[in-house]
Amino acid sequence: MPPTAEPERNTGQSLPANIVIPDSVVSLVELARLDRALASFPADVLVAARIAAEMTTAIRRLGNPGRTPWPPMRPGRLP
Amino acid sequence: MIDELHWCSAADLAKAFAEQRLSPVDVVGHLLERIDQLDPVLNAFVSVDHEGALEGAKRAHLEIRSGAKRGALQGVPVAIKDVIDVAGMRTTCHSRILIDNTPETDSEIARRLREAGAIILGKLSTHEFATGGPSFDLPFPPARNPWNADHHPGGSSSGAGAGLAAGLFPLAVGTDSGGSIRHPASACAVVGLKPTYGRVSLRGVFPLTYSLDHAGPMARTVGDCALLLSAIAGHDPEDPASVDVPADNFSTGLAGGIEGLRIGFVRHFHEVDKIAHPEVAGALESAAALLAANGAQVVNVTLSSLEAYSAVNSVILRSEAWSIHSPWLRARPADYGELARQRLMSGAFVAVGDYVVAQRFRHGLIRELEQALCDVDVLLVASSMDPPCRIDDINEISRTYRREAREPFNVTGHPALAMPAGAVSSSGLPLSLQFVGRYFDECTLLRVAAAFERLASTSVMRPPIYSRSASVPR
């Protein structure tokens, strides 16, 4: 079914003046080559970084996964 | 005489077609009219193939008349989530990124459906690239819940849940990387089965991840889920995730009942890890009591916490999704909606070491669940912890998306089926539960679900406003 009234593409955001992108996030953005996203959607980049920080905290809170290596090596056999 | 054509099960339709009591032309025509009438509100479809569906129905009619047998779904209409390729129909993934993407070849799922004689009505709404949530900044509006159109139908196979519940089609194929088949099944009071990882080919399905994705059947009855799974399951040597195991006829054994079966009830998921809404908890207790009263042995089972499963699922999902979407996120960030852009970019900020740690934890969680399933035949667990929320309440959607017990079985790959719990909330919205089975033992899983469906009369649940028949050809 064709879209009846296509919403406007969101072409960009601006951050409130009191919010600054941390240097650590800028560094990761550069590594990930997300410069264009940072320029146009800085608020979304910040949200993405916050989601990732929450995920990282959650997985690290689980502690040590144990001594089982992953992926398990099974010579001569598909895992 | 079959009345209320739009509420007919696929099994009944197939039988009526084969016996020439009914023509696929009448059924497809009726459903297309119903789609035209109701879908402007429900938005279940991204695209409807009126012409192709009617042509297919005419062809099926002639084949049946001439005695040519195609398969178990001959003449039966089916709709497909818009991340699954159907030759000649757009696969947009509900996104501007792929707005002009029209595949020339069928996915393995579509190929098997055609081989079984099914008629593909069109492509169904999803969240953008099957992630994020209901969004209003995409080229197509989000699907709405037929039980109350102000409410979210669940996702990301949203159009499948909404369309089944509204009687727009009897069968749908969805995908599930963190609960996306089972969430809409739960929210719309239909049945959704995420099969064992590797049971259904993912060739021609646009990936959200590489190791959590599953495709599977959705329907209004357990029997129809079994029928559809029988059509789409099977080894595909061209899909590296596909497993070479016999594809059973999943419809056999549905009447087997539950007497003597051991059902493990994972109470801590909804009593400790996430405190479920009291009506959800009550429905789960009632279900356990009903199963026990009818011959099953219900025992408590303890697994790792939902937090552990969720942490593992999230890191793997976001990391793998980033690896798929990074070229487009770098070059065309404006062509994503806000929610998908945020979620998909988050994988860029996850360290590779954490991804490996998540996979190592996953290994332990798989072993733990395998061990638990040595002692019981299936598990009974919560699906959603809450009744469906309003579609325009972004905070409530965000809160309830984290309050579920579906991710564990994407992490482990075990088959999991969500269905109505047999009750609705005080606000008139569906309550649900979930059964989980052993690897490649969908037959036992479906047998238990079918028994519960009979005991709790869940297959007759209809949204009140759509429960009356429209003008039905007799």
> Exactly one of B9, B156, B230, B242 is catalytic; which is it?
B156
Q: How many CA atoms lie within 13 A of B223 on its CB side?
A: 19
d(CA B311, CA B320): 14
Are B34 and B167 in contact, with CB atoms under 8 Å apart?
A: yes
**Nearest beta carbon to residue B345 from set A45, A62, A66:** A45
How close A1 comes to chain B (CA, Å)?
Answer: 4
**ipTM for the whole complex:** 0.92
Interface test with B, best of A34, A55, A73 (most B CBs within 10 A): A55
Which tokens is B434 given?
């979930």
What stretch of H or E contains A6? none
Asked whether the beta carbons of residue B364 and residue A66 sit closer than 8 angstroms, the reply is yes
> How many degrees, rounded to 5, is the angle at CA B213 between CA B180 and CA B161?
25
**CA nearest B10: which of B192, B224, B167, B185?**
B224
pLDDT tops 70 at residue A2: no
Q: What averages of pLDDT result for each successive group of 10 residues across chain B (474 residues)?
A: 80 97 98 97 98 98 95 98 98 98 98 98 98 95 97 98 98 98 98 98 98 98 98 97 91 96 98 98 98 98 98 98 98 97 98 94 93 97 97 93 96 98 96 98 98 94 73 32
Asked whether the beta carbons of residue B357 and residue A65 sit closer than 8 angstroms, the reply is yes
**Nearest beta carbon to residue B343 from set A9, A51, A66:** A51
pLDDT tops 70 at residue A3: no
Which tokens is B36 given?
């035209």
**Nearest beta carbon to residue B315 from set A36, A59, A69:** A59
- Chain A residues with CB under 8 Å of B341 CB are 37, 41, 44, 48
Q: What is the DSSP letter of B273?
A: I
Asked whether the beta carbons of residue A60 and residue B354 sit closer than 8 angstroms, the reply is yes
- Chain B residues with CB under 8 Å of A59 CB are 311-312, 314-315, 354, 357-358, 361
Helix or strand or coil: residue B431?
strand
Q: What is the pLDDT of residue A75?
A: 64
Are B300 and B402 in contact, with CB atoms under 8 Å apart?
A: no
Are B225 and B269 in contact, with CB atoms under 8 Å apart?
A: no
Are B140 and B158 in contact, with CB atoms under 8 Å apart?
A: no
d(CA A79, CA A72): 7
Are B162 and B47 in contact, with CB atoms under 8 Å apart?
A: no
Stated length of chain A:
79
- Chain A residues with CB under 8 Å of B122 CB are 1
- Chain A residues at the B interface, defined by Cβ less than 8 Å, are 1, 3-4, 6-12, 25, 28-29, 32-34, 36-37, 40-41, 44-45, 47-49, 51-53, 55-56, 58-62, 65-66, 68-72
Each residue's pLDDT tens digit, A4-39: 455 656 667 777 777 889 999 999 999 999 999 999
Cα distances (angstroms) measured from residue B162 to each of B43, B191, B286, B300: 8, 12, 26, 34
Contacts with B171 (C-beta within 8 Å, 6 or more apart), sequence order: B10, B73, B76, B77, B78, B79, B118, B164, B217, B218, B219, B224, B227, B228
Q: What is the pLDDT of residue A15?
A: 79
Q: What is the pLDDT of residue A76?
A: 62
Helices (H), chain A: 23-32, 35-40, 42-61
Which tokens is B263 given?
């059902």
Q: Name the one residue in this structure whose structure tokens are 């193939």.
A: B49
- Could you tell me the sign of the dihedral formed by the alpha carbons of B60, B65, B67, B73, in that order? positive
Q: What is the pLDDT of residue B428?
A: 96
Q: Is A68 or B469 the better-scoring residue by pLDDT? A: A68
Contacts with B135 (C-beta within 8 Å, 6 or more apart), sequence order: B127, B128, B142, B337, B338, B339, B340
Beta-bridge partner residues of B124: B45, B81
Helix or strand or coil: residue B451?
helix
A37-70 b/e (C-beta count within 10 Å ≥ 16 → b): bbebbbebbbbbbebbeebbebbeebeebeeeeb
**Nearest beta carbon to residue B318 from set A10, A55, A66:** A55
Asked whether the beta carbons of residue B311 and residue A62 sit closer than 8 angstroms, the reply is yes
Using only the alpha carbons of chain A, give its radius of gyration. Answer: 20
How close B146 comes to chain A (CA, Å)?
Answer: 18
Q: What is the pLDDT of residue A7?
A: 61
Backbone φ and ψ of B379, nearest 5°:
-110, 145
d(CA B237, CA B244): 8
What stretch of H or E contains B411? helix B408-412
d(CA B418, CA B402): 17
> How many degrees, rounded to 5, is the angle at CA B280 between CA B381 and CA B364?
25
Cα distances (angstroms) measured from residue B175 to each of B103, B130, B161, B201, B292: 18, 8, 12, 11, 32
Exposed / middle / buried, residue A5 (Cβ in 10 Å: 0-12, 13-18, 19+): exposed
Asked whether the beta carbons of residue A49 and residue B346 sit closer than 8 angstroms, the reply is yes
The interaxial angle of helices B306-331 and B338-346, nearest 10 deg, is 110
**CA nearest B112: which of B234, B240, B12?**
B234
Query: Nearest-CA residue of chain A relative to B36?
Result: A1
**Nearest beta carbon to residue A9 from set B96, B307, B358:** B96
B81 an active-site residue? yes
| Predicted TM-score of the model (pTM) | 0.95
Q: What is the pLDDT of residue A16?
A: 78
